[in-house]
Amino acid sequence: MAMKVSPHTIPGSLHPQNSKAFDWGWQGLLAYGCHSTVVVVDPRTVQPLQTLSAHKTTVTRIRWSRERHHHTLASPYSLRLASVDSAAHCIAWDVAEATPIAEFSLGNRALVDIQWLTSNDSCRDLLAVLLSPSSMTIWNADTGTKVSRFTFTETIMAFAFNPFQPENLVLQSPECFILVNDFNPSRTPTGGGRKFYMTASGGGGGVQGLLGRHPQQVPQRLLSGDSLKGEQTVRLVDCLQLAFSRSHRHHLLVLYSREIIVMDVASKQAVGSILLERNSSSFLQVMPCRQRDVLYCLHENGSVSVRVQQSQNLPVSIPTSPLDVAPPCGIQYELHSQSEPLRISKTCKVFSASFCPKTERSAAVLTSEGRILLWDMEFEQVGLHGQELTAEFGPPVTLLTALPVGTGSLVDLEEG
């Protein structure tokens, strides 16, 4: 009887272009790019399960498909991920079989980012690809056909979909945000979206002028071009990442090297800010959780910090809905734990991080040496009156059970 043996490649140190090719899928598997190969790893054993070899150049992006649709024996789901290389060649993979489902070329433009669309079951095969300087193409990753293509008037550096309203899209240019409220994969957004500029509340130009301010003096508003009237604006060219909160509606996280600004895109106001202390290592990446308003933050020294949102003006014993919109400047995040920094050298640099989307209790850090460092959060569970809870039911499995509203406290990050 013939048996299909999974192909094996011995992974080693990574190429600098592999730095953002790292993702943790909903099914619990990690995938990262090692030169032109995609390596799939089981985080429980930290052993490679599969290697995907069809790219001819360096893999630069990897995204697991979000398989949430209904499936039957006639129409089963498969472990799928999409990978793009430096030659702008995209492959949608059947991971179990290590075979391409579809392949297509993105042209000769540089890739900015890719994301799977998750608005409904009809979009489960659609992949949004943003190319430099200002074009977005929607591809059917099951057939390899182009669905639509949009071109914007500004240079686009990043984009993010609102998980609560997938038709809402935010794009970042060097000068402003572009808000699209009617995104549809099959047609061009009306008017190409509206431009909004982030205004500063104090003296000093650009981001550097904001870093010396008090934490409460966050940028106040997002103003359209017609409403600026001489207002001082903040350039977004130094912004490292855009990410929508997965536990608060309309909250957009704007990441800088020394600060995270929380903007409410509905009210066009800032509702909070996380400012690093002078002796703290700079931010590289922020990863918002869904089960609780918790942020995983990757730092330049390789450490991972966990910050938990603190409710304001509410008793601890009263649960608060994560969907409630907080008043302006009412969002505060408290640093609950931080892992030990890595020994950074010329041969060992921090590339990227991801966390388990199922449990949201584990984080992984990828280094240039090809090492994956796994961190598990440990919790000390306490009751409403401060008493310790027994562990007769074992440790909490997910962030939802480990950190109930008002009844849990996070202790530390332990290396797995």
pLDDT exceeds 50 at position 181: yes
- Per cent of the chain over pLDDT 90 is 43
* HSE (side-chain half, CA atoms, 13 Å) at 34: 24
How far, in Å, CA of 250 to CA of 264, rounded? 5
Instruction: Give 283 or 236, the one with higher predicted confidence.
Output: 283
Instruction: Give 352 or 408, the one with higher predicted confidence.
Output: 352
CB 22 within 8 A of CB 366: yes
pTM for the structure as a whole: 0.82
Tens digits of residue pLDDT in 277-320:
889 999 999 999 998 899 999 999 999 999 998 854 433 333 34
Amino acid of residue 34: C
Backbone phi, psi, residue 288, to 5°: -80, 145
Of 99-103, 131-135, 191-195, 316-320, the one with minimum mean pLDDT is: 316-320
How far, in Å, CA of 332 to CA of 216, rounded? 10
Residue 121: predicted pLDDT: 59
How far, in Å, CA of 130 to CA of 138, rounded? 9
Question: How many other C-beta atoms can be found within 10 angstroms of the C-beta atom of residue 267?
Answer: 14
Amino acid of residue 283: F
Local confidence band at 153 (pLDDT 50, 70, 90 cut-offs): confident
Q: Which residues pair with 379 in a beta bridge?
A: 410
> CA Rg, the chain, in Å?
22
Residue 310: predicted pLDDT: 80
Local confidence band at 182 (pLDDT 50, 70, 90 cut-offs): confident
Nearest-5° angle of CA 44, CA 46, CA 51? 115
- Per cent of the chain over pLDDT 70 is 74
Residue 220: predicted pLDDT: 61
Residue 285: predicted pLDDT: 96
Tens digits of residue pLDDT in 4-26:
555 567 788 999 999 999 999 98
User: Which of 321, 323, 351, 362 lies closest to 46 in space, CA to CA?
Assistant: 362
How far, in Å, CA of 9 to CA of 96, rounded? 16
How far, in Å, CA of 11 to CA of 37, rounded? 9
